[in-house]
Structure 1
Amino acid sequence: MKIKLHPTDQQLVLFAQGLIAPAQSLIISAHVDMCAACQKRVAGLEAALTEQLLNEQSALPDMQMQNMLTEILASPVAVALPAETQYLELDGRQFALPRSLQRYAGKISGWSHMVGKLWQARVDLGIDGRADFIYMEKGGTVPEHTHRGSELTLVLDGEFSDGVGHYDTGDFIRCDSHHTHTPKTEAEEGCLVFSVLDKPLHFTSGLARLLNPFSHLFFK
């Protein structure tokens, strides 16, 4: 699997520091699960941050350092158990999810059949904005739109094009108000993506434009 599109260096730095918004952190974490190059990059960033923290702590008075070490050693150690792979199911199909998204496989609000050959399953992250699994059958198209805010999309399975580029499994895509596109797939297996939005879409052509005055009703 050749992944071409990744989070920016700035996004990965903020992710490693734990300073990125929860929804963005989740989708970046899922990409890192799928991408060996970003795993290596994040591991290097975390190692550098750890070294920086240790250097800062080494300047603490001896007694304060000893108390800190005592607290750390007294803390219970969490043992990570192998997790059973969770699958997302739709109409007899099963999709293996990256580790960071597996806990949401059984927490979707159910699949909704949208216009044409599109299916959508809302994921409640308990935060502002919205997150969805979106499945496009072969020949499925999302009407042309731009964005009032930002949209992060991770291709989980399959591939699609949008008139701007072609995206394959593992690719990480960021769109904002500067982008107008029409996602569609001709892949035999269709395409499953995970998408995070902070504001509603704005449709720009055809009958879909009639939905714009009501788009806020779907963005809850």
Structure 2
Amino acid sequence: MRHHPTHELMTVFASGELPASLSIAVAAHLELCHDCQTLADRITQQAAQQEFTTPSSTPSQQDHEDDFADMIAQITQDDALLDTLFDTTETAEQTIEFKGQHYTLPRALQSLVLQKPQKLGKLTRSRIDLQEGSLKTSLLHIEPGGSVPMHTHRGFELTLLLDGEFEDEMGKYQKGDFIWLTGEHEHTPTTTTGCLCFTVSNDALQFTQGISKLLNPIGQFIY
């Protein structure tokens, strides 16, 4: 894959400050991308070192740190206690079906509740209500041979390609690609074999060609 979250976005993700929808998207990408997973681990370790490393400690602080270290040592030596702290039971993979094809979802998406699918031509969208105001989150399925009409974006549009492939005027995309677009971009996503995407946007699409431009007046209600 060639498209990944920026270092800045990864840093905010590691700090736990991203909205839920974007945090889920980054976490799902990390499951699919070993390089970004390694980078996220490094960013997290650096943040932890910066947070907990101080030039000097007062006696009371040092006592507290020693007590904390002793507690951690005791926990790691007690397998029974570890079992109560960390559930290592593997959960069954969750799949979703669109037009007779089954897709396995990343773990980061498996607890999300999908709303009733909405279908338009070869496009099917299932909303995910995370109650984030203007941020709209969905699973978008495009059938083989399908496309989204030429459009730009009034805000940003994040697309995480979960399965399949698609291409547009800027290139070809494969499973795991993390694509962040804004009003600077105009494109027509098209897929030959079909694809499933996790999408997040904060404003309506702006269709720019053909009869689809008729949807722009009500775009605020359908994005």
TM-score range (shorter-chain normalised) is 0.7 to 0.9
Write the letter of the residue equivalent to 2:56. A
Counterpart CA distance in 1 for 2:138 and 2:210 is 24
CA distance in 1 between counterparts of 2:26 and 2:148 reads: 23
Structure 1 or 2, whichever has the larger Rg, is: 2
Q: Report the residue type matching 2:98 in the other structure.
A: L
Unmatched tracts of structure 1, length 5 or more: none
Hey, what's the Cα distance between the residues in 2 that align with 1:54 and 1:165? 43
Find the residue that maps to 2:148 and give its secondary structure: coil
CA-based RMSD of the aligned residues comes to 2.1
- Structure 1: distance between partners of 2:123 and 2:36: 30
| Distance of 1:69 and 1:89 partners within structure 2 | 53
Tell whether 2:150 aligns with 1:144: yes
Q: Identity, % of aligned pairs?
A: 34
Displacement of 1:10: 1.1
Counterpart mapping for 1:1-220 below 5 A:
3-56=1-54, 59-67=56-64, 73=71, 78-80=85-87, 81-104=89-112, 107-114=113-120, 116-128=121-133, 129-187=135-193, 190-219=194-223
Change (3 A) 1:205 1:69: farther
TM-score by length of 2: 0.87
Residue 163 of structure 1: CA displacement? 1.5
The CA distance in 1 between the partners of 2:210 and 2:62, in whole Å, is: 65
- Partner of 1:103: helix, strand, or coil? coil
1:11-38: CA deviation from partner (whole Å, max 9, x where unpaired): 1111112222322111111101110000
TM-score, L = length of structure 1: 0.88
Greater Cα offset, 65-74 or 23-32: 65-74
Determine the C-alpha separation between the residues in 2 that align with 1:125 and 1:71: 36
The one-letter amino acid of 1:20's match is L
Shift in CA distance, 124/61, structure 1 to aligned 2, threshold 3 Å: same
- Asked if 2 retains the 8 angstrom alpha-carbon contact of 1:90 and 1:111, the reply is no
- The alpha carbon displacement at 1:86 in A equals 1.0
Question: Cα distance, 1:205 vs. partner?
Answer: 0.9
The count of corresponding residues between Structure 1 and Structure 2 is 211
TM-superposed CA distance for 1:67, in Å, is 3.9
CA displacement at 1:63 relative to structure 2: 1.6
